[in-house]
Structure 1
Amino acid sequence: MSVYQLRYWNSLKEFKTHVLYLHNYASHCEWWDKAINIFLAITSSSSIAAWAIWQKHQIVWAVIIALSQIITAVKPFLPFKLRLKAVADLNDRIQEISLECEKGWFAVAEGELTEKEIHEQCIKLRNDALMAERKCLKNIVLPKNKKLLKRAEEDADLYLTKNYHKGI
């Protein structure tokens, strides 16, 4: 296998990992957004009833209510909902690029393309991914989540092993 075929394979693996990571990241953001909303709904709807029940533990309930008020005040500044939309849009675009890369793997693996053509295809795919990130993320920063990334890498390896018999 040539250096350029290996480079293309690594791009294929990277795109698949990126798709899975973005999917995991979106699920993570959605979980946090729902958890916050559920917490706020429970505390606001049960505060009167719980006040009577929890008279023995007034301090605990007062802390919970104060915490819910703080969360309500800062919720518009929390990034989860904003990130969720951007990540979902980006994931759709990266999935398309990943599928394009996967489609091109056959010609690369069979030696149908020159090294220059493989190089140009890798650059085009990376440029497409960069344009998608710029369009979808704009000024949104996605902190790297190492746990989600590790799971995405493992899932990508499993996918490529199942579909390409270890690929290389």
Structure 2
Amino acid sequence: MHAKSKIGEQAGERETAMPSAPQPKTPQLRFWNSLYELVFHSYLLQEHCQKAANIDRWVKAGLAITSTASLGIWAVFKAYPEIWAGIIVTTQIVSATSKQLPFTARLKASSACVHEFREILNWAEAKWCEILDGELTDGQINKARSDMQIRTAKVLKTHFPLDGLPRDEELNQRATNQAEQYLTTQYGGQ
């Protein structure tokens, strides 16, 4: 929304559109928005964790099947030993280095992060109940929101020091749906 202001009206200049100042949000609304982000990111981390776990399972199963089948075929047919030996060596190399692949690191980081986010979320929901009951002043609400953001940033920095998770629209949409469903079920959508 733009507010019209007359700049240089006395000099006969035309009206210029200027952006309006943002409307101040109440501490309660700011806390609610931060709580929503925390819930959303908790579900997003879970989605990434599940995706990385599925990839990890498929890679390990594929390697096991390829290696075992190669050994079996080589032992039975004794034909093309260089090819089967190459396949076996390749699967062993991939198996040995799979711990260094990006999805493996993401799985470890996101699974640890999910648990810590759950602790922060439990704390934040307890604070939200105090806010709803009118037990906190605006200053205390602002402090609680700041504490939530600091704790969240610390967890993310600990588990994802170099980068975050790759952007995935499908996972984002699923996390959004889960967060909205959770908050609606727990709090009626505030």
- SS of match in other structure, 2:44: helix
- Aligned 8 A contact 2:110 2:159 in 1: yes
Offset at residue 101 of structure 1 (A): 0.6
Contact 2:48–2:110 at 8 Å: present in 1 too?
yes
Other-structure match for 2:56: 33
Give the counterpart letter for 2:43 in structure 1: L
Higher helix share: 1
Matched, 1:114 2:137: yes
Matched position secondary structure for 2:124: helix
Superposition RMSD on alpha carbons, in Å? 2.7
- The corresponding residue for 1:90 is 113
Q: What TM-score results when the alignment is normalised by the length of structure 2?
A: 0.72
Match of 2:42 among 4, 14, 19: 19
Percentage of identical aligned residues: 30
Partner of residue 175, structure 2:
152
For these two proteins, the number of residue pairs brought into alignment is: 160
Matches within 5 A, 1:18-167: 18-50=41-73, 65=87, 68=91, 71-72=94-95, 75-166=98-189
Could you give the per-residue CA deviations for residues 26-72 of structure 1, whole angstroms, max 9, x where no partner exists? 1111111111111111111002445678x9xx9xx98xx49857855
How much has 1:142 moved relative to structure 2?
1.9
Instruction: Looking at secondary structure, tell me which structure has more strand per residue.
Output: 2
Kindly provide the amino acid, as one letter, of the partner of residue 33 in structure 1: D
- Return the alpha-carbon distance in structure 1 between the equivalents of residues 38 and 96 of structure 2: 38
Query: Which residue of the partner structure matches residue 10 of structure 1?
Result: 33
Q: Distance in 1 between matches of 2:51 and 2:67?
A: 24
- Alignment check: 8 A CA contact 1:90 1:133 kept: yes
State the alpha-carbon separation in 1 of the partners of residues 169 and 38 from structure 2. 17
Contact 1:39 1:68 in 2 (8 A): no
Amino acid at match of 2:106: R
CA distance in 2, matches of 1:70, 1:140: 26
Q: Which runs of 5+ in 2 are unaligned?
A: 1-24
Task: Tell me if the contact between 2:46 and 2:114 (Cα under 8 Å) persists in the aligned partners.
Answer: yes
CA shift at 1:74, angstroms? 6.0
Question: d(CA) in 1 for partners of 2:185 and 2:137?
Answer: 27
Q: TM-score, normalised by structure 1?
A: 0.81
Q: CA–CA distance in 2 between the matches of 1:133 and 1:143?
A: 14
